[in-house]
Chains A and B, each alone.
Chain A
Amino acid sequence: MNLSLVDPFVLAQEYPDTLTEKLSSGHATCLSFNHKGDYLASGRVDGTVVIFDIETNGVARKLQGHTRQIQSLSWSRDGRYLLTSSQDWKCILWDLKDGSRVRTVRFEAPVYIAELHPFNHLLFVASLFEDQPVLVDISSPKPVKRILPSAPLRASGEDLDPAAAAKQAAQDAKHSTCVTIFTAFGNHIIAGTSKGWINIIETQTCTTIHSMRLCNGVVILLHLASNGRDLLVNSSDRVIRTVLMPDLSQLGINLEPSAIKLQVEHKFQDVVNRLSWNHVTFSSTGEFVTATTFMNPDIYVWERSHGSLVKILEGPREELGVVEWHPSRPMVVACGLETGCIYTWSIVSPQKWSALAPDFGEVEENVEYMEAEDEFDVHPAEQVHQRRLDQEDEEPDAVTLELVKGDGDADGVEPFSLPVLLNVEDSDSGEDVVAVGPGTMRRRTPGAAKEGVNGDEKPAANGTSRGAARRRR
């Protein structure tokens, strides 16, 4: 309802410019907004998942179940379920209505990234550390795992000579999938491999229908824009690529699998410093690409129409890890690698003082005031009052709601509202981990025994995470 009153120039601003908030609850390592954009889930190194209310910047819920660092978070479309994956080899699906665990799925390896199907919260894909990626159906209490292929699809049909075929097979065996995501409708899975290939896998059959070599390095991250057609790829060759995807929902109708073509639109890289990118994301509309850099506290924002750098967000003095863009507002959140704090950049609009005094107006330059002839005429108060009353002759409609386009309910999702827990802070036990230096943490509460345990455990967890990240590069 506020759109008609807000300064249009503020609304027209499409990317944030100032550091506005710092959220802190433990050491956060990954972040994810729900689709509506009112809650932000953060996963911590100690395995706790904290859900922040963006409106109050307070903790809305805490989920405890993992024992190691959280690797990824994925919201269901209605915002009721949250899938978390962790280095403790588990994925947990949470019901946020009461904070209970719907399903817990164990794997044989640490999980890189797990993502929920966009429409079915009982189906997800997970890419595992040095293991094959799996599609997991958790509609029954016993999860059904189907292994997804990692090897790229080779042009078949013509006969290769046996030597070449053997070589190819050996090469294919070296592929391991690092990241898997669903397409917008969930009919296909996009997978990125350690050899820089992108595979498109049909969800129904778990077969690869298209493969393409994108780069030489490891594909670290895939991210699909909200329109479902633009793919963002971060790879270890220090180049961020945006890829235009064909409309896969047209497969079998207007599009043959053989006709699929992935076209690289832009390559974003730092030519001078050869920076590598920690994490990349699209803006809410996909018009901007945002990345955090290795060993550098800045966030880069490129616009996509020309591929030019438009903004470098500055603020904290630490290297930033995961960066996420709010699904509807020009707002960017990122978490610091050292402190685990969550930083928020958004737009600060100045107070228009004319809004405070209705009989004043803001003019850009001096205007000569023309006094009206009747300006200082005195009319009897009753007459003025009566005339005013007589003019109230319209037919106001105080009831009918005007549906704003794109208000979220368009795709028929039953809106879920997270219950407001008045005692969420009482159950808090994780606020006491504080960073004392790079990569080291201790508990805030004095206690020798605890401190000893922690001193051993926390840097170890952090070390493994760094190690894992490096190996993926």
Chain B
Amino acid sequence: MDHLTPQPRRRDPRAKSPSESSSDELAAVSAHEEAERRRASWTKGITPQRPKKSGRLYSGSESPDELAVDADEYWRSSRTRNRHRNQSPINRTDSHDDHSQGGAEGHPEDDTVDTDEEQAHDAHNWSDRSATPVAPTLPPKPDHLNYKEKFVMRGHLRGVSAVQFSPDCSMIASAGADAAVKVWDTATGRLIHTFEGHLAGISTLVWAPNGEWIATGSDDKTIRFWNVNTLKAHTKVFDGHHNYVYQIAFTPKGNILVSGSYDEAVFMWDVRRAQVMRSLPAHSDPVAGIDVVHDGTLIVSCALDGLIRIWDTHSGQCLRTLVMEDNPPATCVKFSPNGKYVLAWTLDGCIRMWSYVESRVVKTFQGHVNQKYSLSGCFGTYGPRDVNYQPPLCFAVSGSEDGSILFWDIVSKQVLQRLDAHSDPVLCVHTGTLNGKRLVVSCGLDKTVRLWEEASEDDAVSNGEANEEGLGEGASTPTPKSHSQDNTPALDADGDDAMTDAMPSAAATPAEDVTMT
């Protein structure tokens, strides 16, 4: 019934909430404040505050309390609709006419005025919510990025499904359908080590936060750990899923690993014991994407039924469900670096940025091709480091099935750069920073891992479209000789045809790993 309302649901600040809930809320707040004041009067600077208490935001303006939202918003949204009907039915029909008849009505002025008003009202609403002040005079934002190819890392025998920088970005780990995990040196592009042990293609790879371990999830239904320092596999195998492991993510402390699988389950693993400590049962389709927010309190998962669910790590309860009306299969989710938004890849060729607190889409990024594979991407920053833009300049990056990598500005949704990167679909992209250089690493079905480096500002000015040059440079990059290019026909990233029909692979690149400057 909801799919006809063109606007996303909003809380109208002017709408009244039911009296009983508001009075309750007030009472709670005043009691809380009372206690707070009492405590503050005893307290001298040093006193550790109770985080839960002080962080409790429901009395503030920004985050509504959930009870009120659930019950109130539901009816408020209908009220909003009523208001529209009551106040401006003409306006509504006019705007329809506007589209169909090209504005051949008798009162075009009225029409425009009305719409302007509505837009202004909208804008007011928006600005109420997003607490970003208007930036003072700053140099104009760069309108393009200039990443150039640095290295092409060859060695995988089949498609590469996952790639990620180590936490300090000194190394790159990649894994793919050949069931091998390869670790590369970021500075030189050389192969450091190859871990072998999985019995089937690897779909997902993630570094432990301390940079000592790499965890990989595979179609052999297991998750394995590989030690980068000792170059040995962990003796314990994380065995418990009944089907392919699709994507995994660590909590920031590295004590919990969250995995999503083709068996429709989300497992939380106690990393130390290699045992499932909790199962989150709520998806009814393969769980394709998993991510953990930077402070570890929330988990996001998405499944091929199109549902994106936000979970409380501590209690294991579902706190929110996000869904688009026509349920395009969701194949990957990433929290933004500050954890306020969730980036979700769907197979309708869109990447949507959700504000999960308000359950609405903030931005939709388009321009890439995504109909078949689980593409994965990342957030990153750009622009001069010495200028403090408000909000900071941030891009979303993703691969595309046409072999390119796209960077979108998250405010304007403009494509900042389109790299002709790979000759086959680009499955995974991850951002990082090494020695002050912003880097992007990508991998794809063409069996290569490619490292891209942001060129300096001067280069950016001299050649805006630097893709061809970038590729030219890339031709001279060292390629490890330990693995000859072999002739295995490229099937898909996972290495089994069964999955080609669905979404073959996913990759994990937790957004909180992004090195922000």
Contact = CB atoms under 8 A, between A and B. Distances in A.
Contacts of B364: 388-389, 392
A49 B7 CA distance: 58
Closest 5 CB pairs of A and B: A406-B49, A397-B391, A361-B74, A4-B63, A398-B336
Given A352-B70, A392-B362, A404-B54, A399 B516 contact: yes
Interface residues on chain A, size class: 35 or more
B272 A406 contact: no
A3 B56 contact: yes
A402 interface: yes
B52 A329 contact: yes
A357 B42 CA distance: 45
A398 B272 contact: no
B210 A420 contact: yes
B272 A405 contact: no
B411 A396 contact: yes
Given A7-B67, A56-B256, A373-B89, A2 B297 contact: yes
A352 to B, nearest CB: 7
B489 interface: no
Contact of B338 (A351, A354, A394, A398): A398
Contacts of A410: 48-49
Interface of B: 1-2, 4-8, 25, 28, 32, 35, 39, 42-44, 46-58, 62-63, 65-67, 70-71, 73-75, 78-79, 81-82, 84-85, 89, 92, 99, 122-123, 126-127, 129-130, 132, 208, 210, 213, 225, 234-236, 251, 253-256, 270-274, 277, 282, 293-298, 309-310, 312-315, 317-323, 336-341, 353, 355-357, 359, 361-364, 379, 381, 390-392, 394, 410-411, 413, 516
A56 B254 CA distance: 11
A249 interface: yes
Interface string A368-394: 011011111111000110011101111
A395 B130 contact: yes
Contacts of A404: 51, 54-55
Contacts of B42: 227, 229-230
B181 to A, nearest CB: 17
A198 to B, nearest CB: 19
A287 B35 contact: yes
A53 B272 contact: yes
Interface string A241-253: 0000001010000
A249 B44 CA distance: 9
Contact of A355 (B317, B353, B394): B317
Contacts of B341: 396, 398
A395 B78 contact: no
Contacts of B353: 396, 398
Contacts of B122: 391
A259 interface: no
Contacts of A356: 282, 309, 318, 321
A442 B295 CA distance: 42
Nearest to B66: A7
A304 to B, nearest CB: 10
A340 interface: no
B70 A354 contact: yes
B271 A374 contact: no
B315 A387 contact: no
Contact of B51 (A60, A328, A361, A398): A328
Contact of B126 (A287, A352, A393): A393
Interface stretch (A8-16, A144-152, A462-470): A8-16
Contacts, number: 298
A163 interface: no
30 contacts: A1-B297, A5-B310, A5-B320, A55-B313, A56-B270, A226-B50, A229-B43, A285-B35, A286-B39, A351-B317, A358-B322, A358-B323, A361-B75, A363-B74, A364-B71, A374-B4, A374-B5, A374-B92, A375-B81, A378-B4, A388-B6, A388-B361, A391-B122, A392-B364, A395-B391, A399-B392, A401-B337, A405-B49, A420-B208, A420-B272
A5 B312 contact: yes
A258 B418 CA distance: 76
Given A9-B67, A356-B282, A396-B132, 12 more contacts: A2-B319, A11-B56, A55-B255, A249-B44, A356-B309, A372-B82, A379-B6, A383-B6, A399-B338, A400-B392, A401-B338, A420-B208
B236 to A, nearest CB: 7
A306 B442 CA distance: 63
A2 B297 CA distance: 6
A2 B341 CA distance: 12
Interface of A is mostly: loop
A110 to B, nearest CB: 32
A384 B2 CA distance: 12
Contacts of B322: 358
A1 to B, nearest CB: 4
A121 to B, nearest CB: 17
A284 interface: yes
A366 interface: no
Contact of A184 (B46, B225, B295): B46
A394 B85 contact: no
B6 A359 contact: no
A98 to B, nearest CB: 13
A100 interface: no
Contacts of B129: 394
A377 B6 CA distance: 11
A458 B43 CA distance: 45
A388 B52 contact: no
A185 interface: yes
Contact of A5 (B79, B336, B357): B357
A374 B85 CA distance: 8
Contacts of A375: 1, 4-5, 81
Given A4-B57, A406-B51, A55 B314 contact: yes
A364 to B, nearest CB: 7
B41 to A, nearest CB: 10
Interface stretch (A83-91, A311-319, A421-429, A431-439): A421-429
A285 B39 contact: yes
Nearest to A226: B48
Given A229-B42, A327-B48, A388-B6, A394 B126 contact: yes
B66 A421 contact: no
B130 A372 contact: no
B312 A383 contact: no
Nearest to B131: A397
Contacts of A9: 67
A159 interface: no
Nearest to B325: A384
Contacts of B70: 352, 354, 361-362
A367 interface: yes
A58 interface: yes
Contacts of A418: 253
A161 interface: no
A263 interface: no
A11 B29 CA distance: 12
A396 B355 contact: yes
Contact of B410 (A228, A329, A372, A396): A396
Contact of A398 (B47, B62, B321, B340): B340
Given A370-B78, A372-B85, A420-B271, A352 B50 contact: no
A226 B140 CA distance: 49
Given A397-B392, A399-B336, A420-B208, A1 B295 contact: yes
Interface centre among B1, B213, B234, B282 (most CB of A within 10 A): B1
Nearest to A350: B317
Contacts of A229: 42-43
Contacts of B55: 3, 404-407
